[in-house]
Structure 1
Amino acid sequence: MTSSPVVPTEMRVSYRLVSALTYAMFFMFAMTTDAVGEIIKIARVDMSLSNTKASAFHWATMIAIAASGIGLGFVADRFGRKRTIIGGLALYGLASALFMTGHAFQLYLSLLFVTGLAIGVFKTSALALVGDLANSTGNHTSRMNAVEGVFGVGAIVGPLLVVWLTGQGLSWTWLYLIAAGLCAGMILVTLLTDYPPMSGETETPASVGHTLSLLGNPHALGFSLAIALYVACEVAIFVWLPTFLEGFDGTELAMLFAAYAVMIFFVLRAVGRFLGAFVLRYIDWKPVMMVFTAIIFACFLTSALLGKTAAVFLLPLSGLFMSMIYPTLNSKGISCFPKSDHGAIAGLILFFTAVSAAFAPLMMAVVSDTFGQGDMRIGFLLATGFAGLLCLMGIVNWMANPAGSALAAADQSEYAKGTG
């Protein structure tokens, strides 16, 4: 057990404010990115777009986040968390405000790409900042679950806000103007707030080359691949579950679940992440990960084999067990490295996250069209394969504990310098 240095009261207050700002950033960009389904539904009709063309509203952001994560993740290590967060929020806020200046597909596509680049900048900085605030690898994981819990709340609020705006006769682009206002407020508070110091910020040659070199590290590659598999399972539900359940007929309760399947999934995912932050304080993460990935695999396998009757309940409910997996894998993957590399490794993991989010749904669509004449049950067989591989990695992680020595070393060498 390491002991952290005593931090003056005024600095503790400042660090709490920094934590609140981190939560606010995750809420804000979740509010916009996870509202894409509702936005596509509206824009597709208003702008007479094909499904393929409308899907670019999702692709543009994800590809830009991936490019930014791998190409710009290091800037948080080179220029510091505070300046990088301000720059990323400023770019995101400006691009969001410009949504109100026109009504052209090309304009929206360009702005979505810019917002994706901005997300990659301030999200990697915020993820690195979580490490600066933590006083142990366990505390890092707990904080990450809480942050992702707030992200889950934003993912619920965003779609609801789009529905409310359209119900009031307003354009969905007002969602982005609201986000721009939130960015302005967060930038102002950030300018007036003291951030925790970075440890070893001059020790690492922060660059794109250094970020790419981390791919040779087994911890970086292992956690990144596990996260990619998890994201493929998660995205399968909120992108394709409504299509899978089309034409479903069942009991009154089953029909209710079918109508609100994705919303139920998001709510359970958000609740589960706050619960995960609490549970992981008392139970080791490895057996929890193994059990939860096994339950997720069982939900997908049963749904793929039995069809809509099982899927209508099991796939939304899987959100409760998915909840702690992404933030925990993210946290452990980042914690394996020195704090001076946290921006770079966060960017690398974000790259795998965004690439999986962009291409896994496409792969499901291709296999369903090729082998099932459009039946998305075939696509969910592929997603079941992703879930099975994730479960296998959970079992190996529990049995072999491949990251154990790196995390123990980080507790001694990095988090002993923590803020407390």
Structure 2
Amino acid sequence: MNVQLTKNHKLFITLSLYALQGLSVSSLGVVWPDLRHTFGMPLEAVGTLITVSMVSHLLASFNNGRFLNRFSMGQMLFAGTLITTVGLWSMALAPTWLLLILASFISGWGAGILNPSLNTIAAEDKRPKLMHWLHAAFGIGASIGPLVITWLISMGFSWRTGYWLIGGIFAFTAVLFLATISQWQSTIKNAVAQSTNPKTAVTLRQALTRPIIWLSMLFFLLYTGMEVTVGQWSYSLFTEARNITPVQAGLWVSAFYGSMTAGRILWGWFNLTYASWKIHTSLLGVIIGAGLLWLNLGWTGEAAVVIIGLCASAVFPMMMSGTSRRVGEAFTTHTIGLQVAMASIGASIVPGLAGLVAGKWGLEVIGLFVLGTAVLLTFVHQWTEHAQTAPKKIAHTAKRAKKHAI
């Protein structure tokens, strides 16, 4: 099979695959009631599935740079879609809870390969819009997933049908990547390979010795944790602490995700490139929104989530696309994998911490928690910028001193 892909074909495939990732992730919440009854599991057992999937996702993401040093981008995409297919179809077939957990681990591993690989493709692209649209596509997929699964279940199909369907789409993309495997190359990897000896390629251990990379990891942990905290806790805050009707609260939460997706489409349309002042401006908007969420001044207390979503929408894509600029091309593939892994950790730890704080001081503290996280995030970003520019300033000063000495 000889399939030739144009640049626009690759753009469409990349965005569609990331949307499919979002669709897959968001489906669990809808299938869980039927799934747990199939295996006779309690409500809280969903935490086991999520944890197992997250651990495998982290392991694969942490090793993304190592994998890309050994395999081509085409091989990574083929392997990621194939493994995800096996995991999803295994979930559809699983006769026991233990085998379902194993299938969840396999599916998470496939996602852990695809997520940083797709972000690497977007980071390498000369058009900044791709990174914004990539994450907008994930949001669109995450919105469509529950609708598709709900429709299937309402039509009388089993929850297993959903996994057969999503796995089938991943299987199709796996065949597509197999047919075009040589056409997917990492430009960063090629540039590094041409300028360095393959035997001396940067290792994960070397990457972890650089403070700038640790700061980038911390940034993504805090940012994703803050974003997920707003999404997970706003509904409870509005309904239980502010006596807003469930329908209205649901609309506000949907508006939060909608504003974030719309923002990423908008910023992509304007080809918003990475710049420190743009990150600071976006975070300032998030701080204002978080302040309004905390102060709860009339309707602005709820509309604040829309402000947060719109202002935060550009942060993740811009920071991810600016990875090479911050850490250098040689460390980019490792760093992207580490950032994706830390984002997953943040999505679990930070909302959990917010829950502990809310359990002790009440749900109204959620706004203050988000505000504090946004302020801390701003300081971490400033620290990251300082760590990036400090070596250049030292080198420039040394060069001037040497020139004057001569």
TM-score, with length taken from structure 1? 0.80
User: Which residue pairs with 1:184 in the alignment?
Assistant: 171
- Aligned equivalent of 2:256, options 242, 259, 265: 265
The answer as to 2:373 corresponding to 1:361 is no
Any conservation in 1 of the 2:274–2:321 contact (CA below 8 Å)? no
The answer as to 2:70 corresponding to 1:81 is no
Q: How far is 1:223 from its partner?
A: 2.1
| TM alignment of 1:31-180, pairs within 5 A | 31-40=23-32, 43=35, 49-102=41-94, 104-132=96-124, 134-135=125-126, 139=127, 141-180=128-167
Q: How far is 1:235 from its partner?
A: 0.8
After superposing the two structures, state which structure 1 stretch, 36-45 or 91-100, moved more. 36-45
Question: Structure 2 CA distance, aligned partners of 1:208 and 1:258?
Answer: 51
| TM alignment of 1:211-230, pairs within 5 A | 211-230=204-223
**Partner AA of 1:179 in structure 2:** I
User: Which residue pairs with 1:22 in the alignment?
Assistant: 14
User: Which residue pairs with 1:295 in the alignment?
Assistant: 285
**1:15–1:23 CA distance, 2 compared to 1 (3 A):** same
**1:55–1:383 CA distance, 2 compared to 1 (3 A):** farther
The answer as to 2:189 corresponding to 1:195 is no
More helix by share: 2
Q: How far is 1:89 from its partner?
A: 0.9
Any conservation in 1 of the 2:323–2:332 contact (CA below 8 Å)? no
After superposing the two structures, state which structure 1 stretch, 344-353 or 293-302, moved more. 293-302
User: Which residue pairs with 1:240 in the alignment?
Assistant: 233
Q: How far is 1:322 from its partner?
A: 1.5
- The C-alpha deviation readout for 1:135-181, integer Å capped at 9, x for no partner, is 4xxx3x33211211111211111122222222222233333222211
User: Which residue pairs with 1:382 in the alignment?
Assistant: 369
**Partner AA of 1:293 in structure 2:** L
- The C-alpha deviation readout for 1:34-63, integer Å capped at 9, x for no partner, is 334334455456656445422233333222
**Partner AA of 1:80 in structure 2:** S
**Partner AA of 1:153 in structure 2:** I
**Partner AA of 1:232 in structure 2:** G
**1:39–1:238 CA distance, 2 compared to 1 (3 A):** farther
After superposing the two structures, state which structure 1 stretch, 143-152 or 57-66, moved more. 57-66
User: Which residue pairs with 1:210 in the alignment?
Assistant: 203
Larger radius of gyration: 2
Any conservation in 2 of the 1:302–1:310 contact (CA below 8 Å)? yes
**Partner AA of 1:236 in structure 2:** T
After superposing the two structures, state which structure 1 stretch, 112-121 or 159-168, moved more. 159-168
User: Which residue pairs with 1:322 in the alignment?
Assistant: 312
Any conservation in 2 of the 1:215–1:221 contact (CA below 8 Å)? yes
**Partner AA of 2:79 in structure 1:** G
Question: Structure 2 CA distance, aligned partners of 1:308 and 1:362?
Answer: 28
Q: How far is 1:403 from its partner?
A: 5.7
Question: Structure 2 CA distance, aligned partners of 1:159 and 1:300?
Answer: 28
Structure 2 counterpart SS, 1:161? helix
Q: How far is 1:204 from its partner?
A: 6.8
- Unaligned runs of 5+ residues in structure 2 are 393-406
TM-score, with length taken from structure 2? 0.82
**Partner AA of 2:72 in structure 1:** G
Q: CA RMSD in A?
A: 3.2
Question: Structure 1 CA distance, aligned partners of 2:149 and 2:74?
Answer: 31
Any conservation in 1 of the 2:212–2:387 contact (CA below 8 Å)? no
Q: How far is 1:364 from its partner?
A: 1.8
Any conservation in 2 of the 1:66–1:351 contact (CA below 8 Å)? yes
Any conservation in 2 of the 1:219–1:333 contact (CA below 8 Å)? no
**1:82–1:257 CA distance, 2 compared to 1 (3 A):** same
**Partner AA of 2:251 in structure 1:** Y
Q: How many residues align?
A: 384
Q: How far is 1:209 from its partner?
A: 8.5
**Partner AA of 2:263 in structure 1:** G
Any conservation in 2 of the 1:149–1:274 contact (CA below 8 Å)? yes
Any conservation in 1 of the 2:222–2:350 contact (CA below 8 Å)? no
Any conservation in 1 of the 2:78–2:174 contact (CA below 8 Å)? yes
**1:206–1:329 CA distance, 2 compared to 1 (3 A):** farther
Any conservation in 2 of the 1:99–1:108 contact (CA below 8 Å)? yes
Question: Structure 1 CA distance, aligned partners of 2:241 and 2:49?
Answer: 28
Structure 1 counterpart SS, 2:239? coil
Q: How far is 1:195 from its partner?
A: 2.3
**Partner AA of 1:271 in structure 2:** A
Question: Structure 2 CA distance, aligned partners of 1:65 and 1:308?
Answer: 41
Q: How far is 1:91 from its partner?
A: 0.5
